[in-house]
Amino acid sequence: MESELLLSLIVFLPALAALVLMLPLFSNQRPDAIRLLSLAATVAVFLLTVWMALDRPAGSDASTRFQVGEASMQDTFARDWIPSFNIYYFMGVDGISFTLVLLTSFVTMLSMGASWNITKHVKAYCILFLLLETGMLGVFLALDFFLFYVFWEVMLLPMYFLIGVWGGPRREYAAIKFFLFTLVGSVLMLIAILMLYFNSDLGRLSRDQLQASRVPNSVVQQVEQGGTEPIHTFNLLALAQMGQLPDSPFDKELWLGHSLQWWAFILLFIGFAIKVPVVPVHTWLPDAHVEAPTPISMILAGILLKMGGYGIIRICYPICPDAGYDLAYVVAGIGVLSMVYGAFAAMSQKDFKRLVAYSSVSHMGYVILGIGVWTAWAGTDYNSDYWSMGMNGAMFQMIAHGISSAGMFFLVGVIYDRVHHRNLDEFGGLFAKMPVYSGLAFGIFFAGLGLPGLCGFIGEVFVTLSVWTYSQALAVISASVVILTAGYILWTLQRVYLGPEYKGPHEDGIYPITPREIAIAAPLLAFAILFGVYPSAVFRYMTPSINKTVGDLATWTKEVKQPRIEAERSSEMELAQKP
């Protein structure tokens, strides 16, 4: 299959299905037809991504399947979209985005399966759900900054309605809060996008760099013909190349003594950090999670939060490395703050879902920490291995958290469907009543806890280890968060599943887990175990690309940043020596 067709199909198949669902043929009188068609669309997307993940048959290099071991972008294609603004329909995958695409299609499929007990306005629900999937996949596949932004915004509306119409009692408040937080973030991002765009110039790149950035040939020719006018671009790969030039066009001073890229980094980072979310801009998350219906919570925790991390890895650091280097400690500090705050907040919750939501804040803190640890220099030696380890850990943590948090939210939803409350103090004794469910829950909560042998462990260990060479204080704090995590998860398990008897209302409503529910929880647990004992299943796809990203930045640190720092230092020394 052509890569253009394949990637477009992956992104737009759900939207097409949504269009089909809009036909009057489907009515709310026969909800199962609507659900089955939506499920079929999500399954089809999942199968397409799985097909891509399969190894290429030997000897066929024309295949569009994902090539394991290739670090750069694959399956790229670009088409004119809005030529007046140099905006392209430009997509592609590398290891970083591909694993997240797989996660997205997988979790979306499962949460569609979990949507069977949505009975209100099924048609509208399914249409919005499918549009949401298009937006999410588009964000991970877009390589044009404008296209990325468009998909990023496209997700907001379906999410708003899905929380606001199908959510819990305070759904409207939660929905608008989610919308407003994210919109503020994306407006800041838009400002940064425009600043970067107007200071970009493809003419600064060499022919090789242009080709590596997959700039279309017509534009390459235009660049080579030269001219005094700069050629602006939204191409994320080209912007990254420019950001890492020794005399980057983004280095010029903008305001208050800081460079353009410093401000762009701040704006972009706030935009992404809101999505992650990190403390102190996390407050939308507990509300949104608590009010959202179960399948939407799964998507929110499993995928939407990953977009923030993805944006930081793909956009913030490569395009604004100078600011990234200078602000590394701030970023890492924010990560640690989120970890600690999230863990303590989780511990004090009375609401089961709110607890899981705060655990997400805490776990996503590892991601920020792992990304932020800029240890291209270990002592006096040049060595980027630890940073690369942290980045790999952060990416792995995103995948692992996608699996475990989606599972945790689903399991909370299962018990909520039966007893219609989430008050942690009113559970207990569920093990006796629902043994299979409790077994699955133990597995998935342990995965969230980071028990060795389950997926949560790998990411946490990688991140914590990598921090040691950067800052021992942060390493000690982040390692001790593991104790807090264990504390709140074990305490939760004890209060909910153990104990002699169930203490809350609706006791007679409790029935064993259904096969449909098992079919959703079991794959999540299976992957949690698989990734725990065989992490290479994930690393084989993403490590080459992560190492390349880190390698490029490390080279930049060595060749550009270090001389710059030394020059600054010596000029300061001179100043100091003058009487």
Partner 1 sequence: MSFQELIANLQYDTVDVSLSLFRPELAICATIVVMLLARLPRIRIDAFYVALVGSAVALWFAAPWRYLAAGATEAAGPQEIFTGMLIFDGLTVYFRSVLLLFAVLFIVMTRLSGIPDREDGADFYTLILGGTLGMCIMASANHLFTVFLGVEMASVPSYALAGMLKGRRQASEAALKYSVYGAGAAGVMLYGISLLGGALGSVHIPTMVTQLASMPAEALAERQTVLMLGGLMTMVGLAFKLSAVPFHFWCPDVFEGASAEVNAFLSVASKAAALALLLRVAIGFGHLPQQPAVENHVPPAAQAAVTAAQATLVSDAPYSAQEKANDDGLSPTRDYMVGIIALIAAITCTFGNLAAYAQTNIKRLFAYSTIAHAGYMMMPVAAAVALLGRDPPMAEKCVAALAFYVGVYLFMNLAAFAIIAFLRNAMRSEQIADYAGLVRHSPGLVVCFSIILISLIGLPFFSGFIAKYWAFYVLVPAQLIWLLVVGGLNTALSLFYYLRVIKTMTMDPEPADRLPVDFSMISAEGVYVALVSLPIVVLGLWPDPLMRWVDAACRQLVN
Instruction: Give the binding site for partner 1 (CB under 8 A).
Output: 82-85, 124, 149-150, 153-154, 156-157, 160-161, 164-165, 171-172, 176, 179-180, 183-184, 187-188, 190-191, 194-195, 197-198
H or E element that contains 98: helix 95-113
Residue 312 Cβ vs partner 1, minimum distance, rounded to whole Å: 21
Residue 182 or 549 with smaller CB distance to partner 1? 182
Residue 176 or 432 with smaller CB distance to partner 1? 176
Residue 81 Cβ vs partner 1, minimum distance, rounded to whole Å: 8
Distance CA 560, CA 544 (A): 23
Structural tokens at position 13 = 């198949």
Structural tokens at position 122 = 């099924």
Residue 54 Cβ vs partner 1, minimum distance, rounded to whole Å: 33
Structural tokens at position 45 = 């997307």
Q: Which residues contact 353 (CB under 8 A, 6 or more apart)?
A: 289, 290, 297, 409, 412, 416, 422
Helices (H) and strands (E) in the chain, counts: 26, 6
Structural tokens at position 253 = 């001073």
Residue 287 Cβ vs partner 1, minimum distance, rounded to whole Å: 16
Residue 165 or 432 with smaller CB distance to partner 1? 165
Q: How far apart are the first and last CA of the chain?
A: 72
Residue 244 Cβ vs partner 1, minimum distance, rounded to whole Å: 22
Residue 297 Cβ vs partner 1, minimum distance, rounded to whole Å: 19
429 in helix, strand or coil? Answer: coil
- Check the CA dihedral 453-517-299-64 and report its sign: positive
Residue 124 Cβ vs partner 1, minimum distance, rounded to whole Å: 8
Structural tokens at position 303 = 């995928």
Residue 93 Cβ vs partner 1, minimum distance, rounded to whole Å: 22
Residue 47 or 187 with smaller CB distance to partner 1? 187
Residue 546 Cβ vs partner 1, minimum distance, rounded to whole Å: 30
Distance CA 79, CA 117 (A): 41
Structural tokens at position 85 = 């603004």
Residue 75 or 291 with smaller CB distance to partner 1? 291
DSSP structure string for 17-73: HHHHHTSTTS-TTSHHHHHHHHHHHHHHHHHHHHHHHSPPPTT--S--S--TT--S-
Residue 165 or 465 with smaller CB distance to partner 1? 165
Q: Measured at the alpha carbon of residue 103, what is the angle toward residues 89 and 304, in degrees to the nearest 5?
A: 70
Residue 196 Cβ vs partner 1, minimum distance, rounded to whole Å: 10
Burial 68-78 (b: 16+ CB within 10 A, else e): beebbbbbbbb
Residue 20 or 190 with smaller CB distance to partner 1? 190
Residue 18 Cβ vs partner 1, minimum distance, rounded to whole Å: 12
Residue 106 or 161 with smaller CB distance to partner 1? 161
Q: Measured at the alpha carbon of residue 186, what is the angle toward residues 182 and 187, in degrees to the nearest 5?
A: 120
Distance CA 331, CA 370 (A): 10
Distance CA 109, CA 295 (A): 10
Residue 127 or 553 with smaller CB distance to partner 1? 127
Residue 423, strand partner residues: 351
Residue 98 or 178 with smaller CB distance to partner 1? 178
Residue 521 Cβ vs partner 1, minimum distance, rounded to whole Å: 31
Contact by Cβ (8 Å): 401, 364: yes
Residue 199 or 438 with smaller CB distance to partner 1? 199
Residue 156 or 484 with smaller CB distance to partner 1? 156
Structural tokens at position 76 = 């790229």
Q: Please report, for residues 24, 66, 102, 308, 399, the alpha-carbon distance to residue 541 in angstroms, rounded to integers and kept in the order given.
A: 43, 9, 11, 20, 12
Residue 16 Cβ vs partner 1, minimum distance, rounded to whole Å: 14
Residue 18 or 301 with smaller CB distance to partner 1? 18
498, burial (CB in 10 Å: exposed 0-12, middle 13-18, buried 19+): middle
